[in-house]
Amino acid sequence: MKKGDIYEGIIEKVDFPNKGIVLAEGQKVIVKNGIPGQKVRFMINKKRSGRTEGRLLEVLEKSPLETRDPVCSVFPDCGGCMYQTMSYKSQLNMKEQQVCQILDTALKGQPYQWDGIYASPVEFRYRNKMEFSFGDAYKDGPLTLGLHKKGSTYDVLNASDCGLVHKDINIIVSCVQNYFLQRNISYYKKLQHTGYLRHLLLRRSMTTGEILIHIITTSQEEHDLSPLKEELLSLPLEGKIAGIMHIINDSLSDVVQSDETRILYGQDFFYETLLGLRFKVSTFSFFQPNSLAAEILYSIVRKYIGDTKDKTVFDLYSGTGTISQLAAPVAKEVIGVEIVEEAVQAARENAALNGLSNCHFIAGDVLKVLDQLSQKPDVIILDPPRDGIHPKALPRILSYGADHIVYVSCKATSLARDLPAFFSAGYRMERACCVDQFCQTVHVETVCLLSRAK
């Protein structure tokens, strides 16, 4: 086998997150973006010591697991989804097997209680936030607004019938795209760093139906967006637009951030309710993308924490303080640490909104903040970014010797990488489970309870 060779084969299984395993000429080849059981044609594109990768060229035969039609027009090309044609039960079974394999390998035979995988209460139309990109589907093509094509950094496919978001979101996407398409307004080209339109960020409250619309552009051009505002406000939506923002972003990197935010209409926040608590959600606040599944996730975290009466809880990587506030009513004190200042401000407002006086939030890097705290936690909750806990922060976290640690991970391989450090510090994994917040995609949340051996 050498680079450029083309082969055919059956995807025997898919390892987390989307690594299809194909046997060709007696060798194992990793082919991403496939479904178990598909017959595929692929080209060898990477050869490393002990590892061969191939790029998917074509699906020759569907998998027996593909038992239904996709719900949107750009599947399977769109990078937003992977498993629409699989039954939801098959998706759950596959994700559970993937995570169990990762944990079993990391634990090397150590026993633990596996609590299974929890399904999302809704399989489609569950996302309360989505970032869409402006671009084109092919070089010099007409303006598109949607999600990137699988495996492509530049091609953007229209997403006006996306199955992951509420129909209100799709109506807004179509309106915005048509508005700028009719006026022949340029989009930002990442290589040349020129153009105007960058992203459309939409948030919709699951409980109230309130919608925030953010049009993100560069400052390279000036356009009057008042007509667009009027068009948006006249749309026949099930929910209600709470705010329309124009965000200026001149960053060279392809991220959604604000150099300046102009409120064109309304306000830059709405409220969402989880497990009886009310949370203010603003433009850049971190909030779990699937509100209904988040209630399941947080209920499990609360159960894993157990009795926290008269105990101090550290919630590290606390975001807008959702977990902190769910733990606060049954704890002596909860301290949340989060590096995003806007999220911390929102967390403080939310705690006041919910009447929680024993909940405190600190803005800063976890590694630096821990060195400044005099309190010692009895329980630690960890919900780090996708890449896991910073290697320098991990020893400091373990040095507290907390009785219990609950680790919430959106990337099981990052959790598995961190686990040996916990074991070396005298912890054992008591129980674990998965919560599927990301139906149709390769992602899944993993929750585990780590207890310090007495």
User: Token pair of 217, please?
Assistant: 């552009």
% of the chain beyond a pLDDT of 90: 83
Q: What is the mean pLDDT of residues 205-212?
A: 96
The predicted pLDDT at position 148 comes to: 94
Q: How far apart are CA 399 and CA 425, in angstroms?
A: 8
Q: How far apart are CA 317 and CA 414, in angstroms?
A: 15
Q: What is the mean pLDDT of residues 366-376?
A: 89
DSSP tag of 194: B
Helix (H, G, I), strand (E, B) or coil at 34: coil
The predicted pLDDT at position 329 comes to: 85
C-alpha closest to that of 90 among 63, 126, 59: 63
The predicted pLDDT at position 452 comes to: 92
C-alpha closest to that of 145 among 192, 178, 118: 178
C-alpha closest to that of 299 among 435, 100, 441: 435
Give residue-wise pLDDT tens across range 111-129.
999 999 999 999 999 999 9
**CA-CA distances (angstroms) from residue 448 to 103, 159, 407?**
10, 35, 5
Q: How far apart are CA 426 and CA 420, in angstroms?
A: 10
Q: DSSP H helical segments within 312-454, as ranges?
A: 322-327, 341-353, 366-370, 393-399, 412-424
At residue 154, φ and ψ (nearest 5 deg) are -115, -40
Give residue-wise pLDDT tens across range 185-205.
999 999 999 999 999 999 999
173 vs 385, residue with greater confidence = 173
The predicted pLDDT at position 343 comes to: 85
**Banded pLDDT at 286 (limits 50, 70, 90):** confident
Dihedral angle, C-alpha 126, 132, 138, 142, nearest 10 °:
110
The predicted pLDDT at position 151 comes to: 83
Q: How many CA atoms lie within 13 A of 225 on its CB side?
A: 23
Helix (H, G, I), strand (E, B) or coil at 266: strand
| pLDDT over 80 at 227, yes or no | yes
The predicted pLDDT at position 48 comes to: 83
Burial group, residue 91, by CB count within 10 angstroms (0-12, 13-18, 19+): buried
Q: How far apart are CA 244 and CA 266, in angstroms?
A: 7
| pLDDT over 80 at 361, yes or no | yes
Give residue-wise pLDDT tens across range 240-283.
999 999 999 999 988 899 999 999 999 999 999 999 999 988 88
| pLDDT over 80 at 322, yes or no | yes
* Structural contact between residues 436 and 445, judged by C-beta atoms closer than 8 angstroms: yes
% of the chain beyond a pLDDT of 70: 100
| pLDDT over 90 at 320, yes or no | no
The predicted pLDDT at position 454 comes to: 72
* Structural contact between residues 35 and 83, judged by C-beta atoms closer than 8 angstroms: yes
Mean pLDDT of the chain: 94
User: Token pair of 117, please?
Assistant: 């995988």
Residue the block writes with tokens 């398409």? 181
Please say if 439 is a catalytic residue: no
Give residue-wise pLDDT tens across range 386-441.
888 988 899 999 999 999 999 999 999 999 999 999 999 999 999 999 999 999 99
The catalytically annotated residue of 78, 359, 410, 439 is 410
The predicted pLDDT at position 93 comes to: 97
**CA-CA distances (angstroms) from residue 206 to 202, 241, 288, 442?**
13, 13, 11, 23
* Structural contact between residues 31 and 11, judged by C-beta atoms closer than 8 angstroms: yes
The predicted pLDDT at position 49 comes to: 76
Q: How many CB atoms lie within 10 A of CB 348?
A: 17
307 vs 297, residue with greater confidence = 297
DSSP tag of 91: H
**Banded pLDDT at 206 (limits 50, 70, 90):** very high
Q: How far apart are the first and last CA of the chain?
A: 53
Q: How far apart are CA 311 and CA 412, in angstroms?
A: 29
Residue 136 bridge partners (DSSP): 143
Q: Regarding beta strands 6-15 and 19-24, do their DSSP bridges make them parallel or antiparallel, or are they unpaired?
A: antiparallel
| pLDDT over 90 at 1, yes or no | no
User: Token pair of 449, please?
Assistant: 């309870």
Q: How far apart are CA 4 and CA 58, in angstroms?
A: 15
| pLDDT over 90 at 310, yes or no | no
The predicted pLDDT at position 142 comes to: 95
Q: Which amino acid is at 325?
A: Q
Q: How far apart are CA 212 and CA 280, in angstroms?
A: 12
* Structural contact between residues 416 and 399, judged by C-beta atoms closer than 8 angstroms: no
